Structure formats: structure tokens, C-alpha cells
A = this chain, B = another copy of it.
């Protein structure tokens, strides 16, 4: 939803006048207002400035925004306004630079209607087997509606575990039912995995650039992220990693996407995977392997998971159906090795259990043998778009643009000329109905400001060509 600063101000003003906020009470920060109200930070600031002009709130520098003594202020609002309209931006300025802010900015920018969402996190709906899944779902509901009345228990639907164990053999894994826990998507899998191996104050190593959702998760868990460069065609730099491990005491785990890293899309060669695993064993660490893109290879063979070589149970494998099969189902899985018991317990107290209905539908779909042919089509479609997108970019983007060509998944990682700030570019692009993910989101320190991540997991056509041309023009004008 989009609010104008004035609507927002009227709502908050009404709460203050109704004494839902007491005089002197601290109000939510600009950033939090932006997050909860789904407005841009600048809108939130304008909202508070307006409330200040009304004498309803006051900004205290380095402290926050408070309910003013408005009853007695009504007469002196001009003075108040003058004073605070200077104070206000200062108060929140530091926050404006944070990753949280960059994400808020992205969410609010992309919340508006777009005709080309190159920031999306799943392939085009028509590229998923929605019809077949819906048919299975309807049949299950017809056959046994009483399922809705049953309070489920356990670590996952046995039938789904059986199908997954069979399926995961393609990644070289040999699992038992008790090695596996079904989660609410891979996000919950990553979250419980991190909580199982690290405490607040600990540090974990992540790839750089890295999926911003992981950085936010670590921030929310109070775990420090140490960013180690990820090299196209190589994966995380093992040299840099070893150096960091020698010099960092508090590292508990490494979080990596060896297969089709987000955003680079690169696959780690097997020899690097084995070396990484040896480092994990040598430094007594856990390795959280995020394999949500593992099935989306651009070849017809998928690479092995590091978990396949894990003898000591140090690898916590996280997978999901959200990228490869059914985005809306929110079903993920985790094979936690020696940490499984702790992981099961954390999941139990994080969300009890995962809905059985979607699990039953997935189980039937996989058992029906329809998954391989679906993935074959999906892989072909993704692979076919890479040269088309790369050609379009070289046609329309300025000289000095570099494209990292992925080996799997649906993202292109673009390096733009030095002087381009892709977050500024996004603001202009959104005005033309086009969104992408700015590079500065892929690092806690705001690196990669002149990079962007582009989603190409959709049928190729004039719309894509045009969108890329528009972006190219905007960049050239900057």
C-alpha cells in the first residue's frame, strides 16, 4: 500500500490527539515508520516534519522523535516548526545509510505498480506446474477434508520425506527420514540452522556479494557477518577464507551457496567444495549449505551438494521447493547432520510444525515422476535466456558494463561504470515501471553500489528487450 506523507501524518496526528500516544512518549523512528507503513523513508520524514509544523511532535537530536506537549504548543507552532524542521533529518540520518534502510527503500519502491519486475525472486508462474499441483491438491481435499481438522505433529510428512530422500540422491546425498526436517521454506531452515550453531555475538562467514535476506537475518539474530569474496567460476575464495579463519576467533560457521550463488549464479567446482569441507573440519566449524538453486542448473545435470562428501555431519543442508517447483507453498527442508536434534527443537519452538497439506501435494507430485520433466523444461528456458539477455545488454548498456554469466538460476549480476549508483538508478527506473535489485543490498557495508541484479526467469520478448533498453538509456544519461 502507498500512503502520502499527509495521510500518514493525519493518522498519527489523530492517535496523538486521541492520546493513544502520550505527551513525551517516544514515537517510532522514521525507518520503522517506513517499514511498517510501507512508505519510503523520505515520505516518513515528510510526515514527521508536517507533524512538527503542527506542533504535535518534536525531534530530539541523537535521540528520536517524541510526542510534543501539543496542547500548550498549538499557539507556538511556527517556532516549533522552525526549530524541528532542522533537527528532524539529523536525528535519523545515520539510519538512512543502513542496510535496513536500503531494503526498506527497495521494498517501498517496488511496492508500486510495475510492468517489468526484474527484482523478483521466482520464475514466471507459467513456468511452474501449477495446473498439475492444483489438481493433486483438489483431489486430496475431496478425498479427505477431515485432514483440515487434524493438528499435525512430527518433523514432516513421512511421504514427502521419502520422496525427497529419493530426489536428493541426485545431489549425491544419502539420507534417512530422521536426517530430515521439513520447514516453512528455506528461510526458516537457514534461521534455525544459524541459531543451532551460533549465539548472539558470534560471527559467521558469508559470501560477498551475498543475498541481503541473509544479512538481515544475521542482524536480527545478533550474529556478526564476515564477508569473504565470492569469485565467479570458483565460489567463495578459499584463500581469503583461510586467512580469515586464521585471524578470527569467534567464527562458528560458514554460510555458502556452492551451487548457483545468489547473486552471482556461479557453481563451485567439486575440488573447491572438498577443500571448503576440509577447512570446515580443520577449524571445527559448521557449514550451512544453501542449495535452493541447486536444481536450476543450466545444464541437464545438477552439481553435487557439499553435503554429499560430509562424513562428520558438519554440513547443514538447506533446500526448498520455492525456486524450483512451487513458490507459494513455502516448503523447505533441512538435513542438519550432527546438529539435527538441536535444529528440530528450535524449529518446534519457532513455528511448531509445517502445514501438511502442501507437503502432501508435493509428495504426490514427486512420486508421480513429473519433477524431472518439469525441471528439464525449466532449465532449458533459463539457459536459453542467458545469451538473449546478454546480447540485449551489450546492445543497450554503455561501454564498461560487465555481465557475470551464471551457470544456473535466473539472475544476471551486472557491473556498471564506476560512477553509477544503482539505487539512484532504481528510483528513476521505477518511475518508468521497471525494477531490479541494486548492488548495494548485497553487502553490509554498501559495497557494489555500481552493480545490479537482474531477473531473467520469464518468457523472452519485446517487453524484456524494451526494459533493458530503457535501463541502458537511463544509465547513459547519468
Q: A19-B311, A138-B138, A344-B36 are in contact. Are A130 and B145 (CB under 8 A)?
A: yes
Q: How far is the CB of A130 from chain B (nearest CB, A)?
A: 4
Q: How far is the CB of A205 from chain B (nearest CB, A)?
A: 18
Asked if residues B141 and A126 are in contact (CB atoms below 8 Å), the reply is: no
Asked if residues B130 and A148 are in contact (CB atoms below 8 Å), the reply is: yes
- Checking B1, B128, B216 against A149 with a beta-carbon cut-off of 8 angstroms, the contacting residue is B128
Q: Which of A100, A141, A187, A221 has the most CB of B within 10 A?
A: A141
> Closest residue of chain B to A219, judged by CB?
B349
Set of chain B residues within 8 Å of A131, measured between Cβ atoms: 145
Set of chain B residues within 8 Å of A130, measured between Cβ atoms: 145-149
Asked if residues A312 and B25 are in contact (CB atoms below 8 Å), the reply is: yes
State A348–B217 Cα separation when bound (angstroms).
8
**A 180-198 to B, binary, CB cutoff 8 A, 1 in contact else 0:** 0001110110010001000
Set of chain B residues within 8 Å of A344, measured between Cβ atoms: 35-36
Asked if residues A151 and B121 are in contact (CB atoms below 8 Å), the reply is: yes
State A213–B19 Cα separation when bound (angstroms).
37
State A200–B199 Cα separation when bound (angstroms).
9
Asked if residues B185 and A220 are in contact (CB atoms below 8 Å), the reply is: no
The segment out of A81-89, A335-343, A381-389, A437-445 that lies at the interface is A335-343
Asked if residues A149 and B327 are in contact (CB atoms below 8 Å), the reply is: yes
The A367-404 residues at the B interface (CB cut-off 8 A) are: none
The A136-167 residues at the B interface (CB cut-off 8 A) are: 137-138, 141-142, 145-152
Q: How far is the CB of A330 from chain B (nearest CB, A)?
A: 5
State A210–B33 Cα separation when bound (angstroms).
35
> Closest residue of chain B to A122, judged by CB?
B151
The segment out of A226-234, A255-263, A295-303, A350-358 that lies at the interface is A350-358
Asked if residues A191 and B20 are in contact (CB atoms below 8 Å), the reply is: no
Q: A36-B178, A37-B178 are in contact. Are A328 and B345 (CB under 8 A)?
A: no
Identical subunits present: 2
Set of chain B residues within 8 Å of A340, measured between Cβ atoms: 36
State A235–B53 Cα separation when bound (angstroms).
46
Asked if residues A355 and B358 are in contact (CB atoms below 8 Å), the reply is: yes
A134 within 8 A of B: yes
The A279-327 residues at the B interface (CB cut-off 8 A) are: 311-313, 322, 326-327
State A357–B330 Cα separation when bound (angstroms).
10
Asked if residues B133 and A145 are in contact (CB atoms below 8 Å), the reply is: yes
Asked if residues B341 and A28 are in contact (CB atoms below 8 Å), the reply is: yes
Q: A220-B345, A340-B36 are in contact. Are A352 and B149 (CB under 8 A)?
A: no
State A142–B353 Cα separation when bound (angstroms).
27
Q: Which of A123, A146, A221 has the most CB of B within 10 A?
A: A146
Q: How far is the CB of A66 from chain B (nearest CB, A)?
A: 13
The A248-277 residues at the B interface (CB cut-off 8 A) are: none
Since A11-B176, A213-B348, A330-B355 are in contact, a sample of 19 more A-B pairs with Cβ atoms closer than 8 Å, ordered by chain A residue number, is: A1-B178, A22-B311, A28-B338, A35-B344, A36-B178, A120-B151, A122-B150, A123-B149, A133-B148, A134-B142, A137-B137, A138-B141, A148-B329, A150-B328, A183-B351, A184-B184, A184-B351, A191-B350, A328-B355
Q: What are 18 A-B pairs at a CB distance below 8 A?
A: A11-B176, A20-B313, A35-B345, A36-B341, A122-B149, A133-B148, A141-B141, A149-B326, A184-B352, A184-B354, A185-B351, A188-B351, A191-B349, A220-B349, A220-B350, A328-B355, A328-B356, A357-B358
